[in-house]
Structure 1
């Protein structure tokens, strides 16, 4: 192969040296893929997506009942924040593990963590155990999410990637309607614990075909001479640990996890503590978390301490990556202040909806966002553009937030509540997938796992921030307003109403029109308005941020992937001068202005 420019050769050598073992391994496996093995892999991933989609729909509706069983309904947001924190911090190490060890090994770890989380949630006897189980569950769920997207990025070109990424959202078209019925059946015939425990059996069984397919192709790649030896072979234990320390950017990820956890958790825990913000431990957590967050970027940009930083400095120079991750952050932040975690509780209490009806209304967003995401992914495939749909989606999403603020009130009809969810769902569907695609288009194959993980991490951080703010508002204003509005003879028992959703929504004890019911509805309605104001403010920056995205013409770009690729007419054997020059030009263009 001829090289026109010596600098291109240096870039190629540097790129090959930077490619980590897990990336080399999947590139080797990709070169040995057959059509049948790819079909098996995708069918299994779709089966797993159906299981996890149904699981998250079922269990999210059960969370208020689990926390109420421990008389701690107000800690719904704390549970959600824990999920959000772990969801954010688990993606970077999982992406790194996939790069360092391999895709199969990472899948096995996530399924194991997922199963442990199910078992612990089902067996928990107090809210602390239930909350700690979210660590394992969120690690498994989000590890699986990032690995699915990395696998798609490994096996598709840019024009087809949006569509195949969206395939894993297709199950939401039916699980959103099945879950409320399943929840009602579980609560009627068994207990909420079985709503968690059944998945510890189902998921590992569904994973078996994918594990077998990946393992067989690893062996085939080795027979064909494509496989790369382990980077740790022949090294001492100290050398292996040192290599892992830098390869996984262990301390950098620890700083990120500590910063997010110590800043967000006090927002939901402090209002529930004995002395609220006078509690010294809450103040200490915020101070330490803030200092850790300040230290984090300095660590990540140090070539000495973080030579293989999770946040590659070169990607942070790309305006598309920066704008795309900020869009993800504000998108999920607004979502977790409007739809989750308290909308379902609001429907049960203020709107007097049944478990099934409340669940169906809450899940309209998932359905209405899935259909547009499928449509837009097909449009991207045939037009080669993505940016226009991001801007359109962001405008619809912001409009939806405004409509929710206007029409989510006590007198709202079911049709109105559903309509507002449809609007923000359509906006989210046009927004989400194209943004991720644009961010991935800015990266090489070595960087695609990192940039995907960065994007998903900021998405989850936004959700955690939204949940934390929701929890702070809910935990502060609901008790205060209940004490203010409840009849004097009932006001002393406000903690019971606040701590157990079944007590607040019990229309037999507190019938419609009674002073107690009016007081409860007023307290929850006024607090919901505060949440929606926050959601509207969070969604506002999304529209202007879309203008900073680079308008890539995807059909003209060289595809930064190796081996058999869906949408590519031939197998690519690596190192291509045009790819290097084009990526250099795109990066230079993307960094300008």
Structure 2
């Protein structure tokens, strides 16, 4: 039973040796698919990028599709290894500028960009094409690497996160969109894990590479080397997509759109509406102006009384209130950035909300300060602290792989979401109660394993449920909405944890440090290397450890609180019967077939094709 099958998705035709017969067959298949996907849609109703990928889907052979998936895996391996490596380097990069506490601000910037870039990148893929969107993401990613490697101050380093995060999250959403394009719902749970499989290896290699880079070179080389490695891994997918796109053009499978505007102004206007630039600006401004001040207020002059902080917060809330009004206005946003109407369906709404709270708890507990805590309080070296921190990625990948197989053969997904929520909450409670100074390595590692298993059981099934709520035209938007909700939760979590850390640690250091080192409180707070320079058991190190310990306890308490909505939200999601679902109905929700018979009248049954 092959997983990658060019005929398994909703849009594939079968390939014949004779070219003329192939063309006729593909045209017939494309006509059927077009009618199935859009009902009365015309080529102008479907955005050009979606037309392209539906045409490309008709030209796949088993060999070319295999090459594409191998390239997806290579890119995922590179980005995964890079992520595990630079995660251990970020504390040293910010410490080099005496700004260790700004790790949370850097993460907020990353999460803000991660949150706001997913919808526009999905729109770029829908408007211009998957190949074009992949190329744009790779280019932005490389620019981020180069700028971080060459940064001379924390401002430059932080601004580089915009390019770095935009490219990284662009690849993430595009990989998931490509997998959604080229697989059916039953196989998709497994294939969606393809970008995650490298974590099984890189989680152990990354911290080791980071330690070697710090010993033999500098953290700058740890960023710069990926500017060459990543584009090389993308080459097979680029060539495969380009080849099949040209093949579809030769077979006239890509219909030419009606030319409505030929002037430059007309092109700009169409692009403005296609990409919903107004919605993008409002979303970016709202997220940035609300979350970034949270981490800056603790260290800004006059704190929350600072006029600049208050003005940013007010403007952010105003933009957030304007966003749904803009997105729901057909004149301002005829092709909205966020498909907010999907949130009228309880499965999509509950799934996005669940992703938000789940990732918020993650950024209270595992990121961003557990790594520093393990080095300072537990005395772990760079590689060991990195491996413990990344145990989450390792165990969640194994759990997600297991649940994807269970979904394939049970054809249900919701039960695994609920079980995952219970396990995730249990792991965080154990982190709160069993982790402390002097805790055994087994206790610390065991709690990370449990949290990781819970995260793996939650993530993939929830994404699958949200994707199932969308037509093919909107599957990219639905995926982007789910991932955006997750990143928004991460951004809020990073912002709040940064505010807690930046306010609690300096206060506690001044409270606990012996008189002879109270003057060093600012340096200890700002540089991880300074905190580590005091030997274990010395009065100063005892005070530092106590400050870290109490602050981490506060963050873990917030993490447990953030998980309280997870189980109720999982029960709200409809337990769809996945083998009865697929693209193919012109009704927005009619293609969904719930497992419970009593709900069928509410959501409707699909028209089987």
For the structure 1 residues 375 and 190, does the alpha-carbon distance in structure 2 shift closer, same or farther, using more than 3 Å as the test? same
> Offset of 1:583 from its aligned partner?
4.3
Moved more, 487-496 or 135-144: 487-496
Q: Distance in 1 between matches of 2:403 and 2:563?
A: 21
Q: Report the counterpart of residue 545 of structure 2 in structure 1.
A: 521
For the structure 1 residues 434 and 10, does the alpha-carbon distance in structure 2 shift closer, same or farther, using more than 3 Å as the test? closer
> Offset of 1:19 from its aligned partner?
1.6
Q: Distance in 2 between matches of 1:92 and 1:116?
A: 21
For the structure 1 residues 106 and 577, does the alpha-carbon distance in structure 2 shift closer, same or farther, using more than 3 Å as the test? closer
Map Cα deviations across residues 497-553 of structure 1 (whole Å, 9 max, x no partner): 0000001012xxx22222111111111100001100111111111111001101100
3-state DSSP class of the match of 2:172?
A: helix
1:538 to 555, 562, 573: 562
3-state DSSP class of the match of 1:492?
A: helix
2:208 to 156, 171, 181: 181
3-state DSSP class of the match of 1:272?
A: coil
Moved more, 200-209 or 144-153: 200-209
1:57 equivalent in alignment to 2:70: no
Q: Distance in 1 between matches of 2:84 and 2:383?
A: 12
> Offset of 1:332 from its aligned partner?
0.6
1:551 to 575, 581, 587: 575
Q: Distance in 2 between matches of 1:341 and 1:381?
A: 34
Note the residue ranges of structure 2 that are not aligned, 5 or more in a row.
1-27, 29-34, 605-609
3-state DSSP class of the match of 1:333?
A: helix
> Offset of 1:382 from its aligned partner?
1.1
> Offset of 1:141 from its aligned partner?
0.3
3-state DSSP class of the match of 1:378?
A: helix
> Offset of 1:34 from its aligned partner?
1.1
2:372 to 342, 345, 350: 345
For the structure 1 residues 227 and 17, does the alpha-carbon distance in structure 2 shift closer, same or farther, using more than 3 Å as the test? closer
The answer on whether the counterparts of 1:70 and 1:126 sit within 8 Å (CA) in structure 2 is yes
The answer on whether the counterparts of 2:176 and 2:192 sit within 8 Å (CA) in structure 1 is yes
Moved more, 69-78 or 31-40: 31-40
1:251 equivalent in alignment to 2:278: yes
3-state DSSP class of the match of 1:547?
A: helix
Map Cα deviations across residues 417-464 of structure 1 (whole Å, 9 max, x no partner): 000000010001111000000111111000100000000001001000
Q: Report the counterpart of residue 372 of structure 1 in structure 2.
A: 399
For the structure 1 residues 504 and 296, does the alpha-carbon distance in structure 2 shift closer, same or farther, using more than 3 Å as the test? same
The answer on whether the counterparts of 1:442 and 1:587 sit within 8 Å (CA) in structure 2 is no
Q: Report the counterpart of residue 570 of structure 1 in structure 2.
A: none
3-state DSSP class of the match of 1:169?
A: coil
Q: Report the counterpart of residue 345 of structure 2 in structure 1.
A: 318
1:23 equivalent in alignment to 2:50: yes
Matches within 5 A, 1:431-446: 431-446=458-473
For the structure 1 residues 284 and 590, does the alpha-carbon distance in structure 2 shift closer, same or farther, using more than 3 Å as the test? farther
3-state DSSP class of the match of 1:452?
A: helix
Map Cα deviations across residues 15-50 of structure 1 (whole Å, 9 max, x no partner): 865321100010011111111110110001100100
3-state DSSP class of the match of 1:351?
A: coil
Q: Report the counterpart of residue 357 of structure 1 in structure 2.
A: 384
3-state DSSP class of the match of 1:476?
A: helix
> Offset of 1:307 from its aligned partner?
1.5
3-state DSSP class of the match of 1:241?
A: helix
Q: Report the counterpart of residue 71 of structure 1 in structure 2.
A: 98
Query: Which structure has the higher relative contact order (CA within 8 Å, separation 6+)?
Result: 1
The answer on whether the counterparts of 1:332 and 1:462 sit within 8 Å (CA) in structure 2 is yes
1:505 equivalent in alignment to 2:532: yes
Q: Distance in 1 between matches of 2:48 and 2:289?
A: 33
The answer on whether the counterparts of 1:325 and 1:454 sit within 8 Å (CA) in structure 2 is yes
3-state DSSP class of the match of 1:168?
A: coil
> Offset of 1:71 from its aligned partner?
0.3
2:132 to 97, 101, 105: 105
Q: Distance in 1 between matches of 2:37 and 2:148?
A: 52
1:451 to 467, 478, 484: 478
Q: Distance in 2 between matches of 1:553 and 1:117?
A: 43
1:294 to 311, 321, 326: 321
The answer on whether the counterparts of 1:48 and 1:207 sit within 8 Å (CA) in structure 2 is yes
> Offset of 1:58 from its aligned partner?
0.4
Q: Distance in 2 between matches of 1:394 and 1:410?
A: 28
2:356 to 329, 334, 339: 329
> Offset of 1:191 from its aligned partner?
0.3
Q: Distance in 2 between matches of 1:22 and 1:299?
A: 24
The answer on whether the counterparts of 1:320 and 1:590 sit within 8 Å (CA) in structure 2 is no
Map Cα deviations across residues 317-369 of structure 1 (whole Å, 9 max, x no partner): 11000000001001110001100010000001111111111111101101010
Q: Report the counterpart of residue 589 of structure 1 in structure 2.
A: 602
For the structure 1 residues 318 and 119, does the alpha-carbon distance in structure 2 shift closer, same or farther, using more than 3 Å as the test? same
1:93 equivalent in alignment to 2:120: yes
The answer on whether the counterparts of 1:77 and 1:268 sit within 8 Å (CA) in structure 2 is yes
Q: Distance in 2 between matches of 1:318 and 1:14?
A: 23
1:168 equivalent in alignment to 2:199: no
Q: Report the counterpart of residue 446 of structure 2 in structure 1.
A: 419
State the number of aligned residues. 567
The answer on whether the counterparts of 1:268 and 1:468 sit within 8 Å (CA) in structure 2 is yes
The answer on whether the counterparts of 1:550 and 1:590 sit within 8 Å (CA) in structure 2 is no
3-state DSSP class of the match of 2:367?
A: coil
3-state DSSP class of the match of 1:307?
A: coil
Map Cα deviations across residues 281-330 of structure 1 (whole Å, 9 max, x no partner): 11111111011111111111112211211222431211000000001001
3-state DSSP class of the match of 1:91?
A: helix
1:464 equivalent in alignment to 2:491: yes
Moved more, 265-274 or 96-105: 265-274
- Dislocated runs of 4+, deviation >4 Å: 8-11, 14-17, 230-234, 575-581, 583-588
The answer on whether the counterparts of 1:232 and 1:240 sit within 8 Å (CA) in structure 2 is no
Q: Distance in 1 between matches of 2:156 and 2:600?
A: 47
Note the residue ranges of structure 1 that are not aligned, 5 or more in a row.
2-7, 561-574
Q: Report the counterpart of residue 274 of structure 1 in structure 2.
A: 301
What TM-score comes out, normalization by structure 2 length? Answer: 0.90
